[in-house]
Amino acid sequence: MFPSDLKYRMPAEWARHERTFISWPVGASMCHPENYEAVCEGYTDIIRAIGEFEPVTVLVNPKERLLLEGRFRNRQIELLPLAHNDAWLRDNGPTFIVNDQGDIAGINWHFNAWGGKYPDWDLDNQVAPQILKHLGLKPFDAPLIMEGGSLHVDGEGTLLTTAECLLNPNRNPDLSREQITELLKKYLSIHKVIWLGKGLCGDETDGHVDNIACFASPGKILIQVCDDPCDPNYAITRENLAVLSRETDARGRTFEIIPIQQPPAVFADGKRLTLSYLNFYFVNGGIILPVFGGQAAETDALAIRTLSGIFPERRIRTINGMAIIGEGGNVHCTTQQMPAVNH
């Protein structure tokens, strides 16, 4: 029996959270292990920022628990010993689903380290079922390799993704677009999938949607844009804007599209980093927004102003977006929300 048969659905991220889950970084799996301490400081700042709004559960490899116990004094922050290979919980954690009776369950997707890009993902592939077991929640095992960063939902039946990621042969080579769509409908209780083309240039996740576009509310989409025709993101974002301009959501509404200007390009070791304001994270009463400083000061201010105007009831809490971006992601990539339910 599928979650949709039992009336489970994936809530929108802005729905109230019970708590946030996040994993502590693992030096052995980092792209730049020499930056381990700096990355740990970046995660500490993210965790403390989220803890200002809601409870946080930090997954920590059991041998490191004692080392972390003195780092967080906020009662909102707890440690959960759970073995993992890497720290991107958005992608290897469970997707929580709820029903109208106030029950909560979780989907356990298969995880293969973004198409087999990094070895040793066996522990990460067990993270979701272990979290659900710890919480005493019903698991639904989905026959699909999927990362949480590759999808956004509006809570009213519409899902946003990219063909570059979900149709990549390094994920589910034996499944067609139609078959993937049907599985998403059965497991998330959505009614329509909107397929954008590609994600941002240089994104080693093969175009996760959480770097390029997201729902701000039903019928309203934020999208990061580029106005420089010489930048590869210009064509990518123009194509995605064109898709959204002719699409409607699951309820037949045309979209209000709100652009956010991308920050200036930054390169490390000759490789472009995937800087995105759209990798923000909703928390109870706020938004955790990565900003990048330096040459990005102007676009930082524009992003803050845009989000403040769209979400006047939420406090925009900025964090240093450069702190962990060298490892490939940002605040949204590190987090997984557990929705609150009323019993």
**Cα–Cα distance measured from residue 295 to residue 287, given in angstroms and rounded to the nearest whole number:** 23
Mean pLDDT of 253-262: 98
- What pTM does this model have? 0.97
Residue 61 is predicted with a pLDDT of 95
Residue 343 has pLDDT above 80, yes or no: no
Cross-strand partners of 318 = 289
Mean pLDDT of 139-147: 98
**Cα–Cα distance measured from residue 227 to residue 261, given in angstroms and rounded to the nearest whole number:** 8
Residue 151 has pLDDT above 80, yes or no: yes
Mean pLDDT of 206-233: 98
Identified catalytic residue from 40, 201, 214, 333: 333
Cβ 327 vs Cβ 31: under 8 Å: yes
| 59 SS3 class | strand
Residue 178 has pLDDT above 80, yes or no: yes
The residues, any chain, with a CB within 8 Å of residue 89's CB and separated by 6 or more, are: 21, 22, 23, 59, 127, 334, 335, 336
333 is a catalytic site residue: yes
Which backbone phi and psi does 219 adopt, to 5 degrees? 85, 0
Mean pLDDT of 122-140: 98
Residue 101 has pLDDT above 60, yes or no: yes
Q: What is the DSSP letter of 11?
A: P
What is the length of the chain?
A: 343
In the predicted model, what is the mean pLDDT of the chain?
A: 96
Q: What is the DSSP letter of 317?
A: E
Residue 238 is predicted with a pLDDT of 97
Residue 293 is predicted with a pLDDT of 97
**Cα–Cα distance measured from residue 293 to residue 300, given in angstroms and rounded to the nearest whole number:** 7
The residues, any chain, with a CB within 8 Å of residue 158's CB and separated by 6 or more, are: 190, 191, 192, 194, 215, 218, 249, 250, 251
Per-position b or e across 11-30, b if 16+ CB within 10 A of its CB? bbbbeebbbbbbbbbbeebb
**Cα–Cα distance measured from residue 101 to residue 44, given in angstroms and rounded to the nearest whole number:** 36
Cross-strand partners of 290 = 319
Mean pLDDT of 173-180: 98
Please give the full DSSP string across 281-314, using - where no structure is assigned. Answer: EEETTEEEEEE--GGGHHHHHHHHHHHHHH-TTS
What's the pLDDT band for 272 if we cut at 50, 70, 90? Answer: very high
**Cα–Cα distance measured from residue 281 to residue 107, given in angstroms and rounded to the nearest whole number:** 20
Which backbone phi and psi does 166 adopt, to 5 degrees? -70, -25
- Quote the tokens at residue 64: 């490191």
C-alpha torsion angle, residues 17, 1, 192, 198 (rounded to 10): 80
Cβ 223 vs Cβ 258: under 8 Å: yes
Residue 75 is predicted with a pLDDT of 87
Cβ 142 vs Cβ 89: under 8 Å: no
Residue 111 is predicted with a pLDDT of 98
First to last CA, the chain: 23
What are the structural domains, with CATH classification, of the chain?
A: 3-339 (3.75.10.10)
Percentage of residues of the chain with pLDDT beyond 90: 89
What's the pLDDT band for 44 if we cut at 50, 70, 90? Answer: very high
Percentage of residues of the chain with pLDDT beyond 70: 100
Q: What is the DSSP letter of 115?
A: H
